């Protein structure tokens, strides 16, 4: 794994740029731990100060330092994306691998559930959840809801790979070596779907962050937890653009775009090198 | 003494098509035979693609249930096998060998992993030393040793070596029956006879019966004791291998016999000095 | 590598225009770079042979023998990582170029299908799955035969008749035809311009036994009728025995032996060929067959000298150091083996 990372750094420009962007965003998020302010306190700084030496990214109309506010917002947004991605990856792996390997009625049942989730209109459902739950809607709950809604496409993708793996002869060899279904899925098939899991993790993070930002901007989330969307929501509430407080919107947008592009580049470049085929080519498999 | 496999009026139909318009397609129709009733033997199933030979093999391996009929091994009806303990006991008795040796092992995994696992799950090995001992013994039966296979990945070995390791893996559980589906069709010509001769040795030295599935009449003639010829799921001819192949009776068998490209009229080269290994 | 190719002395003087294909000391290597590590696989390493007018030349070899690379190079499919690093591939109908991929595209377009055509294993690659077979023929005519028309239609039907194919196949979609029928249609398409040279790469390997024989028979009759040359590649010795006039045996990137097919089957000289022929099981023959020890060498790191020596029962000291040259042992029968040539020299 270390060798792969080293090779990627040395030979892949996309990976380098992606790593730089994500690294910057992550570094920013990490700074939140040394913030002099609490993220929920308002009027801790003079309002509406443009970027200056004292306040690098300026201050908001709510009297918050945009720089430090942004560190909290990035941390929460990235954590949100990560939790959604991890939870939905687990779901899609489990359902995709089992459906693909078992086939028959198991596959038919799982795939009809899967297809239901694919065709559910996401946005109205999320807004509905907000109206039902209102105050009890925390970002953790939202993450769980979005994970439950965001696994279906990738489960289908994983299932199609698993169906191919099932017919490979080594699956039969594993079976007749005494492996249980769980062992076959985790030891033999998982390495083949990991590239999909990796690349979809990044894409899924992008998807969930994007959706969270959209919901927050419209005010359909817990607006008291600072997120990128939440920042933009408050900026809009104070008509920041009209008032000329551009830095309140510009910095969150710049950083979220950096996160998007960085994650996308990482997904693309890593996919190329984690793919078993290219890995095999590298270790010298495949003949003339 | 080898345990007889009995295949009794076995048929298999598959459902095709969508949710509403499901058609049933017969892959195997009313096939009966026994293997190993009079001691270990090599029993060959000859057929082209679509003959149902692979479906039949998968039913014998317990991977498909017959739609009708009964398959019994050692007196146990395969349909009554339930639960993992019973399945494992069955798998220890019947082991498969596949067509493509490069596909038989996960290319991302080390080979010995499958061998050790088989020793642990089927041969009762409880320690690493015992696993290695059983694996080495099996590998020696196919002319290899653990030292040659340990820690190696599939791509580091030739097709012939891999196929022999696949055979060795099957031997670890001391099976009564080996089902080999086209085991030499993807193996290079210079290595092919090593595999085929290996099957003879398994029968003669270890008393294992082998179901050899092929479309190649020449190797079938070379190694089999008895055979059946299948066409579109039906057995069209059955009997002693030499008798059937020397003078096939059914029109389809005759056609197959005539399609053998290497004519006997082409003189066999006289190279007796060469064929004896120095 | 010796620069002077061994010109077979026994080429019949009746050859008017010389061979259709002349391959001289061909070297084709795979050069790959993975993460800064260079690998060079010498898949074809010094191969010389001719293919004459009106003959079927067979090329046999195992999976790592380099036969696939050889025909790729002959067919001009030289793309990285494959590189032609030495030697020449000259076609009589493409004068002035020493390899097909080095000729300009308009020259290649001129000779393709009219002079040189291909029959590959997967017939689905040639036939457009969305068009009826007749449509594919029409497209083909528009591109290579100066437009469709009643004349062309007649020609197609006549050609199909020659191949004993019913004209109704033109009304069918490729998926409606069986594998054997599709491969026949592919052959019809490849031969309709009456090419002088046909490259056939394992065209019957995916087919069933019964169908294979028919397709081979058809290929032979069309070759006889057009007096064209066929380079037929397969690992199946039975197919070679059945179809080819002359046969070249490749081992680890080099030609081990070449000669008339019948001679090679009856009097093989090279120890590898002798083993290959002797180990073929035949119906009615119960003698035990011996297997060859060892396995084919890796082309990334082949043994020095004769590449067969680690497996050869006749290996001598010289085999471990010197590469054996192709020597003509009898007219038209060449072999690269120190042991064979040494015996004759004594």
The string of pLDDT tens digits covering residues A112-130 is 999 999 888 888 888 888 8
Which of B88, B103, B153 is opposite residue A169, by nearest beta carbon? B103
Distance from CA of residue A138 to its chain's centroid? 18
What does pLDDT average to over chain A?
85
The domain spans of chain B are 5-102+175-254
Contact A288 C299 (CB under 8 A): yes
Q: Does B191 touch chain C (CB under 8 A)?
A: yes
C291 Cα to chain B: minimum distance (Å): 5
Residue A27 lies in a domain: yes
Contact C283 B218 (CB under 8 A): yes
Q: Among all residues of chain A, which has the CA nearest to that of B121? A: A178
Which of A281, A287, A288 is opposite residue C34, by nearest beta carbon? A281
Cα separations in angstroms, B195 against B48, B97, B191, B202: 21, 11, 7, 11
| Non-local CB neighbours of B237 within 8 Å, separated by 6+ positions | B228, B229, B244, B248, B249, B250, B252, B253
Q: Give the model's pLDDT for residue B230.
A: 95
Q: How confident is the model at residue A275 (pLDDT cuts 50, 70, 90)?
A: low
Residue B22 has pLDDT above 70, yes or no: no
Report which of C73, C63, C67, C65 is spatially closest to residue C23, judged by C-alpha positions.
C73
- Using one digit for the tens of pLDDT, what is the confidence trace for C233-283? 998 888 999 899 999 999 999 999 999 999 999 899 999 999 988 888 888
- Using one digit for the tens of pLDDT, what is the confidence trace for C22-67? 999 999 998 876 655 677 888 899 999 999 999 999 999 887 788 8
Chains with 3 or more CB pairs under 8 A to chain C: A, B
Q: Does C47 touch chain A (CB under 8 A)?
A: no
Q: Give the model's pLDDT for residue C279.
A: 86
What does pLDDT average to over chain C?
84
Q: How big is the B-C interface in CB pairs under 8 Å?
A: 133
- Cα separation, C223 vs C57, whole angstroms: 12
Interface test with B, best of A178, A181, A194 (most B CBs within 10 A): A178
Taking residue A277's Cβ as centre, other Cβ atoms within 10 Å add up to 12
Which among A65-79, A221-235, C205-219 has the top mean pLDDT?
A65-79
DSSP 8-state class, residue C229: E
Residue written as token pair 């196929």:
B163
C285 Cα to chain B: minimum distance (Å): 8
- Cα separation, A67 vs A144, whole angstroms: 29
Q: Which residues of B touch A173 (CB under 8 A)?
A: 96, 98, 104-106, 114, 166, 169
Residue written as token pair 């023998």:
C65
Q: Which residues of A touch B87 (CB under 8 A)?
A: none
Report which of C298, C249, C308 is spatially closest to residue C273, judged by C-alpha positions.
C249
- Cα separation, C63 vs B102, whole angstroms: 12
User: Residue B48 class from Cβ within 10 Å (0-12 exposed, 13-18 middle, 19+ buried)?
Assistant: buried
Q: Which residues of C touch B191 (CB under 8 A)?
A: 291-292, 295
Q: Is A90 helix (H, G, I), strand (E, B) or coil?
A: helix
Residue A78 lies in a domain: yes
Beta strand spans in chain B (E): 5-16, 23-35, 42-46, 68-73, 76-77, 94-97, 177-181, 209-214, 226-231, 234-240
Are B28 and B52 in contact by the 8 Å Cβ rule? The answer is yes
- Using one digit for the tens of pLDDT, what is the confidence trace for C160-187? 887 778 888 888 888 888 878 888 888 8
Report which of A212, A215, A104, A118 is spatially closest to residue A157, judged by C-alpha positions.
A118
Distance from CA of residue C91 to its chain's centroid? 14
The pairing of strands B42-46 and B5-16 is unpaired
Residues B119/B121/B122/B127 CA torsion (nearest 10 deg): 40
Q: How confident is the model at residue A286 (pLDDT cuts 50, 70, 90)?
A: very low
Q: Domains (ranges, CATH) in chain C?
A: 21-115+195-345 (3.40.50.300)
Which of A45-59, A174-188, B79-93, B209-223 has the lowest average pLDDT?
A45-59
- Cα separation, A226 vs A246, whole angstroms: 18
What mean pLDDT comes out for the span B71-98?
91
Cα separations in angstroms, C269 against B273, C57, C274: 13, 19, 6
Helical residues (DSSP H) of chain A, grouped into ranges: 2-11, 13-30, 66-102, 104-119, 122-133, 139-149, 152-167, 169-176, 181-183, 190-218, 228-237, 240-243, 246-274, 276-283
DSSP 8-state class, residue B204: I
- Cα separation, B32 vs B228, whole angstroms: 10
Q: Which residues of C touch A11 (CB under 8 A)?
A: 35-36
- Cα separation, C96 vs C177, whole angstroms: 42
Q: Among all residues of chain B, which has the CA nearest to that of C214? A: B259
| Non-local CB neighbours of C96 within 8 Å, separated by 6+ positions | none
Q: Give the model's pLDDT for residue C81.
A: 82
Q: Among all residues of chain B, which has the CA nearest to that of A174? A: B114
Are C156 and C192 in contact by the 8 Å Cβ rule? The answer is yes
Q: Is C295 helix (H, G, I), strand (E, B) or coil?
A: coil
Residue written as token pair 């031997």:
B171
What does pLDDT average to over chain B?
87
Are C60 and C68 in contact by the 8 Å Cβ rule? The answer is no
Interface test with B, best of C180, C243, C262, C282 (most B CBs within 10 A): C282
Q: How big is the A-B interface in CB pairs under 8 Å?
A: 66
Q: Does A286 touch chain B (CB under 8 A)?
A: yes
Are C193 and C159 in contact by the 8 Å Cβ rule? The answer is no
Both tokens of residue A166?
């099932």
Q: Give the model's pLDDT for residue A273.
A: 65
Residue C292's φ and ψ, nearest 5 degrees, are -80, 135
- Cα separation, B173 vs B169, whole angstroms: 8
Report which of C211, C204, C242 is spatially closest to residue B265, judged by C-alpha positions.
C242
The neighbouring-strand residues paired with B228 are: B45, B238
Q: Is A193 helix (H, G, I), strand (E, B) or coil?
A: helix
Task: Specify the fold of B5-102+175-254.
Answer: Rossmann fold (3.40.50)
What's the length of chain A? 288
Q: Which residues of B touch C286 (CB under 8 A)?
A: 222
- Cα separation, A81 vs A145, whole angstroms: 12
Which of A254-263, B184-193, C313-322 has the lowest average pLDDT?
B184-193
What mean pLDDT comes out for the span B181-187?
86
Q: What is the pTM of this model?
A: 0.81
| b/e per residue C55-71 (b: at least 16 CB within 10 A) | bbbbbbbbbbbbbbbbb
Report which of A76, A228, A89 is spatially closest to residue A150, judged by C-alpha positions.
A89
Q: Give the model's pLDDT for residue A276.
A: 52
Q: Which helix (H) or strand (E) holds C224?
A: helix C209-226
Q: Is B184 helix (H, G, I), strand (E, B) or coil?
A: coil
Q: Does A288 touch chain C (CB under 8 A)?
A: yes
| Non-local CB neighbours of C330 within 8 Å, separated by 6+ positions | C10, C259, C263
B175 Cα to chain C: minimum distance (Å): 25
Q: Give the model's pLDDT for residue C193.
A: 83
Cα separations in angstroms, C339 against B170, B266, B272, C312: 41, 26, 16, 10
Cα separations in angstroms, C313 against A121, B270, B273: 73, 16, 9
Q: Does C30 touch chain A (CB under 8 A)?
A: yes
The count of structural domains within chain A is 1
- Using one digit for the tens of pLDDT, what is the confidence trace for C301-325? 889 999 999 989 888 999 999 999 9
Contact A285 B153 (CB under 8 A): yes
Regarding predicted confidence, which is higher, C124 or A225?
A225
Residue B109 has pLDDT above 90, yes or no: no
- Cα separation, B211 vs B215, whole angstroms: 13
Report which of C125, C135, C103 is spatially closest to residue C116, judged by C-alpha positions.
C103
Q: Give the model's pLDDT for residue A274.
A: 61
Please state at what angle helix A190-218 crosses helix A246-274, rounded to 10 degrees: 170
Q: Give the model's pLDDT for residue A71.
A: 92
Which of A49-53, A182-186, B8-12, C101-105 has the lowest average pLDDT?
A49-53
Distance from CA of residue C206 to its chain's centroid? 17
- Cα separation, B214 vs B195, whole angstroms: 14
- Cα separation, C196 vs C72, whole angstroms: 18
Regarding predicted confidence, which is higher, B42 or A208?
B42
Identify the CATH number of the domain in which residue A58 sits: 1.10.3720.10
What's the length of chain B? 278
Cα separations in angstroms, C253 against B156, C298, C322, C332: 19, 10, 16, 21
Residue written as token pair 């409880």:
B126
Q: Which domain holds residue A191?
A: 2-279
Report which of B45, B32, B44 is spatially closest to residue B5, judged by C-alpha positions.
B32
Contact B259 C284 (CB under 8 A): no
C176 Cα to chain B: minimum distance (Å): 17
- Cα separation, B56 vs B66, whole angstroms: 9
Q: Does A172 touch chain B (CB under 8 A)?
A: yes
Q: Give the model's pLDDT for residue B11.
A: 94
Give the distance between the most distant pair of CA atoms in chain B.
Answer: 67
Q: What strands, in cross-sheet order, belong to the sheet with B209-214?
A: B94-97, B177-181, B209-214, B42-46, B226-231, B234-240
Residue B212 has pLDDT above 80, yes or no: yes
Residue B30 has pLDDT above 90, yes or no: yes
Q: Which residues of B touch C295 (CB under 8 A)?
A: 157-161, 191
What's the length of chain C? 346
Report which of C30, C57, C64, C121 is spatially closest to residue C250, judged by C-alpha positions.
C64
- Using one digit for the tens of pLDDT, what is the confidence trace for C320-330? 999 999 999 88
């Amino acid at each position: 794994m270390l060798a792969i990372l080293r090779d990627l750094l040395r030979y892949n420009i996309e990976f380098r740029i992606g790593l730089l962007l994500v690294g910057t965003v992550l570094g920013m998020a990490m700074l939140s731990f040394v913030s002099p302010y609490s993220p929920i306190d308002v009027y801790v700084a003079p309002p509406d100060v443009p970027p200056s030496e004292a306040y690098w990214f300026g201050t908001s109309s709510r009297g918050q330092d945009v720089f430090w506010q942004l560190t909290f917002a990035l941390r929460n947004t990235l954590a949100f994306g990560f939790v959604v991605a991890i939870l939905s990856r687990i779901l899609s792996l489990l359902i995709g691998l089992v459906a693909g390997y078992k086939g028959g009625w198991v596959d038919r049942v799982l795939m009809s559930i899967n297809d239901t989730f694919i065709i559910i209109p996401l946005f109205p459902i999320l807004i509905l959840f907000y109206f039902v739950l209102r105050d009890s809607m925390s970002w953790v709950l939202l993450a769980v809801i979005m994970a439950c809604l965001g696994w279906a496409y990738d489960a289908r993708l994983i299932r199609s790979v698993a169906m191919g793996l099932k017919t490979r002869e080594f699956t039969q060899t594993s079976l007749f070596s005494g492996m249980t279904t769980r062992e076959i899925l985790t030891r033999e098939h998982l390495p083949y779907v990991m590239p999909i899991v990796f690349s979809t993790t990044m894409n899924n993070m992008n998807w969930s962050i994007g959706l969270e930002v959209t919901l927050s901007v419209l005010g359909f989330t817990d607006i008291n937890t600072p997120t990128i969307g939440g920042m933009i929501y408050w900026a809009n509430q104070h008509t920041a653009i009209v008032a000329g407080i551009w830095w309140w919107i510009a910095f969150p947008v710049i950083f979220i775009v950096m996160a998007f592009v960085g994650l996308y580049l990482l997904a693309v470049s890593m996919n190329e090198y984690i793919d078993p085929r290219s890995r095999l080519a590298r270790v010298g498999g495949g003949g003339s | 003494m080898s345990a007889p496999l009995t295949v009794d009026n076995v048929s298999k139909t598959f459902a095709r098509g969508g949710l509403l318009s499901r058609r049933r397609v017969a892959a195997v129709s009313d096939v009966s035979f026994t293997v190993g009733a009079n001691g270990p033997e090599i029993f060959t199933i000859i057929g082209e693609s679509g003959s149902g030979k692979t479906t039949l093999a998968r039913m014998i391996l317990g991977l498909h249930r017959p739609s009708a009929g009964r398959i019994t091994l050692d007196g146990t009806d395969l349909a009554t096998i339930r639960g993992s303990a019973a399945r494992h006991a069955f798998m220890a008795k019947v082991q498969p060998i596949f067509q493509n040796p490069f596909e038989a092992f996960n290319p991302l995994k080390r080979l010995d992993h499958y061998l050790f696992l088989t020793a642990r799950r089927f041969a009762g090995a409880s320690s690493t030393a015992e696993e290695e001992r059983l694996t080495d013994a099996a590998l020696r039966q196919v002319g290899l040793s653990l030292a040659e296979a340990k820690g190696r990945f599939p791509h580091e070995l030739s097709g012939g070596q891999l196929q022999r390791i696949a055979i060795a893996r099957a031997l670890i559980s001391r099976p009564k029956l080996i089902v080999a589906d086209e085991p030499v069709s993807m193996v290079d010509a210079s290595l092919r006879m090593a595999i085929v001769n290996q099957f003879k040795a398994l029968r003669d030295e270890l008393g294992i019966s082998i179901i050899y599935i092929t479309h190649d009449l020449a190797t079938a003639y070379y190694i089999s004791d008895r055979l059946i010829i299948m066409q579109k799921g039906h057995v069209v001819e059955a009997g002693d291998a030499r008798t059937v192949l020397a003078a096939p009776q059914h029109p389809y068998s005759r056609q197959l016999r005539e399609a053998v490209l290497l004519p006997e009229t082409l003189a066999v080269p006289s190279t007796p000095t060469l064929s004896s290994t120095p | 590598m010796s620069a002077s190719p061994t010109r077979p002395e026994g080429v019949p003087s009746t050859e008017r225009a010389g061979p259709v294909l002349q391959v001289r000391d061909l070297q084709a290597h795979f050069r790959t770079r993975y993460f800064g590590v260079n690998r060079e696989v010498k898949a074809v390493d010094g191969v010389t042979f001719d293919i004459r007018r009106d003959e079927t030349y067979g090329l046999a070899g195992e999976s790592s023998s380099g036969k696939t690379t050889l025909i790729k190079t002959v067919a001009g499919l030289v793309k990285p990582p494959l590189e032609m690093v030495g030697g020449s591939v000259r076609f009589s109908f493409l004068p002035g170029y020493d390899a097909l991929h080095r000729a300009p595209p308009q020259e290649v377009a001129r000779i393709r299908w009219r002079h040189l055509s291909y029959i590959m294993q997967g017939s689905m690659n040639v036939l457009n799955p969305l068009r009826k077979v007749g449509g594919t023929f029409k497209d083909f005519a528009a591109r290579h035969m100066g437009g469709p028309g009643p004349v062309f239609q007649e020609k197609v039907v006549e050609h199909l008749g020659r191949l004993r194919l019913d004209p109704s196949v033109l009304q069918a979609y490729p998926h409606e035809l069986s594998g054997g029928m599709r491969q026949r249609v592919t052959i019809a398409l490849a031969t309709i311009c009456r090419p002088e040279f046909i490259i056939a790469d394992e065209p019957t390997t995916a087919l069933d036994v019964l169908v294979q024989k028919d397709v081979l028979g058809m290929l032979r009759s069309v070759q006889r009728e057009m007096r064209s040359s066929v380079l037929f590649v397969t690992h199946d010795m039975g197919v070679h025995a059945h179809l080819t006039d002359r046969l070249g045996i490749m081992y680890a990137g080099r030609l081990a032996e070449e000669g008339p097919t019948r001679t090679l089957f009856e009097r093989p000289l090279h120890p590898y060929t002798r083993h290959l022929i002797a180990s073929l099981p035949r119906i009615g023959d119960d003698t035990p067959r011996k297997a060859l020890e060892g396995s084919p060498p890796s082309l990334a790191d082949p043994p020095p000298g004769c590449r067969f020596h680690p497996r050869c029962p006749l290996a001598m000291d010289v085999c471990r150091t010197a590469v054996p040259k192709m020597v003509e042992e009898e007219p038209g029968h060449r072999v690269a083996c120190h042991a064979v040539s040494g015996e004759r020299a004594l």
